[in-house]
Amino acid sequence: MEVYYMIKEKFEAHEELSAQGKLAQENFDDDAKIFGVLLKNDWNCIGTAYIYLEALGNLLEIKNDCTPLIDNKGVKNGELRYSMVPKYFENKREQNLLEFNSVEDLEAK
């Protein structure tokens, strides 16, 4: 959850600078530090993709979604396509997720 608030603060600061017309002065070189990566020193990194997991938190499938790959200069270098299907096992047997509304319901079980 800490990473969420760090990204939220960066986004709000970005929006504020954008509204003031000062966006060109912003430095994005250290943005990946939030995730423990230094992009300017990582020669094999082609970009960064952000996947928001709110749908999985509500136990919904994500099928054939895509997110852009952004390099450390803010340029799109491609896209990452992905699918995720949440599953819940109890006593080595898969349970029906339609009985639950969210991850919180699973935690209470």
Residue 92 shares a structural domain with residue 103: yes
Q: Cα–Cα distance between 21 and 17 in angstroms, integer?
A: 6
Q: Over 80: is that where the pLDDT of 1 sits? A: no
- Per-residue model confidence (pLDDT) at position 51: 83
Residue 37 shares a structural domain with residue 10: yes
- Per-residue model confidence (pLDDT) at position 15: 79
- Per-residue model confidence (pLDDT) at position 47: 74
Residue 14 shares a structural domain with residue 64: no
The tens digit of pLDDT for each residue in 21-80 reads: 776 555 666 666 666 665 555 556 677 788 888 888 888 888 999 889 887 777 888 888
Residue 28 shares a structural domain with residue 64: no
Q: Report the number of distinct structural domains present in the chain.
A: 2
Cβ contacts of 25 within 8 Å, gap of 6 or more: 17
CA distances from 107 to 20, 57, 88, 103 (A): 44, 11, 11, 6
**Segments forming the whole domain that contains residue 60:** 46-109
Of 18-22, 34-38, 79-83, 84-88, the least confident: 34-38
Residue 57 shares a structural domain with residue 102: yes
Q: Cα–Cα distance between 53 and 74 in angstroms, integer?
A: 22
Total residue count of the chain as it appears in this document: 109
- Per-residue model confidence (pLDDT) at position 74: 78
